[in-house]
Amino acid sequence: MKTNQLTVIDGGKKERERQRHLLFTQPWRFGRNEFEQLCKRFELSRAEAFDLTLMRISHQAAHGDREAAAILALVEGDEQDAARRLARVKREKRIRPVVSGRASPPR
């Protein structure tokens, strides 16, 4: 007589539940590729993925990412603030100092 056995791997379901919980509460903890893979794995709607992406951008903006702050301002409909922030980011990228070799003392 043949019996079918089901093998349960402990941690598989728990890990999946943990990832889903983190995805919906702290989506910024995942890198971009992992975030996209999780959205696909959990079959999120475009609206859910968009909301989580906004959470990621908002978190980055709150922690000093000026580009994220500009994007957030644009999404929120504040075009003037977004334009001001983007102009500042562009200026900062142009002004970055380039240091080569060892510094020599002033003469």
Domain ranges of the chain: 21-63, 66-95
pLDDT of residue 36: 95
pLDDT(12) > 90: no
Terminal-to-terminal C-alpha distance of the chain: 95
pLDDT 10s digits, 61-102:
999 999 999 999 999 999 999 999 999 988 888 876 655 656
pLDDT in tens, 35-49: 999 999 999 999 999
